Every structure is written in C-alpha cells, then in structure tokens.
C-alpha cells in the first residue's frame, strides 16, 4: 500500500467512561464483556481492531473507595494509575474468554510530536496487529494529564486520542462508543424532542453549534470533542461513527457499511 492509503479492514473503537461504569460508579462488567465479545468476533471475521479505552480515573476512584472523583491533579493521576491496572485486568479476563490476547499502549501528545517515537509506535501497532493481538490504548495520565491541564483539550480527551490513533494506524473507520445513540440536532438530555442525524458530510460551524458538553458526571468532553475528533479523522479520509456503547453489536452493521448512529463521512 502507498503512504496515504488506509487499511480497509482496520478499525479503531473508542469506549468512554460512562459505558464502562454504572450509575453508582462501579465497573459495568456486562459492558466490558459485551465489548470484548463483539470485538473478538469481529476480529475472527478478519478485521484488525484497536481499542481506545477511557475509564482509568473512574475505575481507580472506585477501587480506592474515594467517595467522589478526586479534584486535585495528583490524586486524579494516582487514581488513573490504579484504575489503568484494573481495567486492563478486566479486559484481559474477558478477552481471554474469547481466546484473544491484548496489549497495553499508553500515549501522550509529545509522543505524536516526535517522528522517531511516532515511527516506533506505528511499528508496535503493526507488529501487534500482525499477530492478531488487540492493542488497548489510553492516555498516559500519570505522566501528563492534558485533559485536566489543557483548556482547548486538543489532545487531552480520549475522543481526540482515538482520532490521532486512527490516523497514525491508517484505519478505515473510527467508531466512538458513547452513552447516547449518535449525534442529535440538540443535546437530547436537555431537549427530549431532539432528533438523531444519520449522516454528516461536512463538520462546519453550523454542525459544531449543535454540540454540547458532557452528559454525565462520568463522561468528559461531550459531543464537542467527538466532533473535533471526527473532523480530524475526516480530513484523512477516515469515516467516524458515533453510536451507543450499551449496544456494541451495532459494530456488526457498521462493518457491513450499514447505517447506525451518526456517520461523519471521511473526505480527502
């Protein structure tokens, strides 16, 4: 393949905190299991899968029996360090049930700014995928937590991280599993009559004005960062689909090119 083409069978799937934890902040084990099952099955169908997973801070907060998400950066980073172990342990357990091997990759914005590091990362992803291993990616929160620090959140949200990974790995599709069925003409939590939009070809100002912030205490970024991510991916020809993480079986339709959630069409 030449340098600009995409791997037709390569998919990056991003899953948010609100899909991996329940309303009282505990790990949603059924959700971990469903995601592991569908991704393993899709890999068995010949697709290459990269999973970008949030959840480290929320799961760490719970494991440390902190009553609420910590406010200080040092405690958030400590919670992330604890929670990252826990989520990898859960993924390992569930993927193992489906006979799959996973690998952990933790990244920071700086890793993307350095050509040598980028090349090392690409080589690692390619080698893992060649061996049918499913990489599980998160931001390396304990080293630099840009989500807390950066005002514009250009990299610091895992929505953006998933787009950056999709571009780095030249994936054909980016699927963002959220706590909502897709992108609506208004935030459905605030406007019950909001309508889901099936397809968006251009992410201009008009579309951006429809996006609100996070819908739950557990999610961060909301639709704003998902649009930023979709826009970044679209510019490299990558399709982004936003759909509900409670029903990851939607991925079967998505790989067939069916209409699920909201499609942001990639355009070069």
Ligand X SMILES: N[C@@H](CCC(=O)OP(=O)(O)O)C(=O)O
Site of interaction with ligand X (CB under 6 A): 16-17, 54-58, 80, 138-139, 141, 147, 157-158, 219-221
Residue 12, classed as helix, strand or coil, is strand
Nearer to ligand ADP, 6 or 261 (CB): 261
| Chosen from ligand ADP, ligand X, none, partner binding at 210 (C-beta under 5 to 8 Å by type) | ligand ADP
Residue 101 marked in a binding site = no
**What separation in angstroms does the CA of 198 have from each of 24, 72, 195, 221, 228?**
32, 39, 9, 21, 18
**What separation in angstroms does the CA of 66 have from each of 30, 63, 139, 160?**
23, 8, 22, 28
Residue 124 marked in a binding site = no
Closest of 267, 49, 268 to residue 174, by C-alpha: 49
Contact map string, positions 166 to 195, toward ligand ADP, x by CB under 6 A: ------------xxx--xx-xxxx------
Interaction of residue 162 with ligand ADP, rule CB under 6 A? no
The tokens for 221 are: 């970024």
Q: Which stretch binds ligand ADP (CB under 6 A): 17-25, 71-79, 102-110, 165-173?
A: 17-25
Contact map string, positions 212 to 231, toward ligand ADP, x by CB under 6 A: x-xxx--xxxxx--------
| Chosen from ligand ADP, ligand X, none, partner binding at 261 (C-beta under 5 to 8 Å by type) | none
Task: Say if CB 68 and CB 100 are below 8 A apart.
Answer: no
Distance of CA 185 to the CA centre of its chain: 22
Nearer to ligand X, 62 or 138 (CB): 138
Nearer to ligand X, 170 or 226 (CB): 226
Burial 172-188 (b: 16+ CB within 10 A, else e): bbbbbbbbbbbbbeebb
| Chosen from ligand ADP, ligand X, none, partner binding at 77 (C-beta under 5 to 8 Å by type) | none
Site for ligand ADP in 19-48 (CB under 6 A): 19
Provide, rounded to whole angstroms, the least separation between the CB of residue 77 and ligand ADP.
19
Residue 220 marked in a binding site = yes
Task: Say if CB 159 and CB 94 are below 8 A apart.
Answer: no
For ligand ADP (CB under 6 A), the number of binding residues is 24
DSSP string, 208-225: HTT----SSSS--SHHHH
N-to-C CA span, the chain: 17
Closest of 232, 179, 175 to residue 203, by C-alpha: 232
| Chosen from ligand ADP, ligand X, none, partner binding at 80 (C-beta under 5 to 8 Å by type) | ligand X
Contact residues: ligand ADP, CB under 6 A? 16-19, 178-180, 183-184, 186-189, 210-212, 214-216, 219-223
């Amino acid at each position: 393949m030449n340098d600009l083409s995409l791997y037709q069978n390569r998919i990056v799937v991003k899953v948010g905190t609100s899909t991996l934890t329940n309303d009282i902040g505990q790990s949603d084990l059924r959700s971990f299991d469903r995601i592991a099952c569908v991704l393993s099955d899709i890999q068995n169908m010949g697709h290459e899968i990269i999973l970008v997973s949030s959840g480290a801070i929320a799961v760490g907060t719970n494991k440390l029996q902190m009553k609420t998400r910590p406010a200080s950066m040092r405690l958030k980073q400590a919670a992330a360090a604890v929670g990252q172990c826990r989520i990898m342990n859960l993924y390992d357990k569930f993927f193992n049930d489906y006979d799959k091997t996973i690998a952990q990759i933790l990244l920071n914005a700086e890793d993307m700014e350095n050509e040598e590091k980028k090349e090392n990362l690409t080589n690692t992803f390619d080698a893992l995928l060649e061996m049918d291993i499913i990489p599980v990616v998160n931001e390396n929160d304990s080293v630099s937590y840009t989500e807390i620090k950066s005002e514009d959140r250009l990299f610091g949200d895992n929505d953006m991280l998933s787009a950056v990974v999709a571009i780095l790995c030249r994936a054909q599709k980016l699927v963002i599993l959220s706590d909502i069925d897709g992108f609506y003409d208004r935030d459905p939590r605030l406007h019950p009559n909001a309508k889901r939009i099936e397809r968006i070809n251009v992410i201009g100002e008009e579309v951006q004005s429809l996006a609100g912030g996070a819908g739950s205490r557990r999610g961060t970024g909301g639709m704003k960062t998902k649009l930023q991510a979709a826009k970044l991916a679209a510019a490299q020809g990558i399709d982004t689909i936003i759909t509900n993480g409670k029903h990851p079986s939607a991925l079967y339709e998505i790989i067939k090119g069916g209409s699920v959630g909201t499609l942001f069409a990639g355009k070069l």
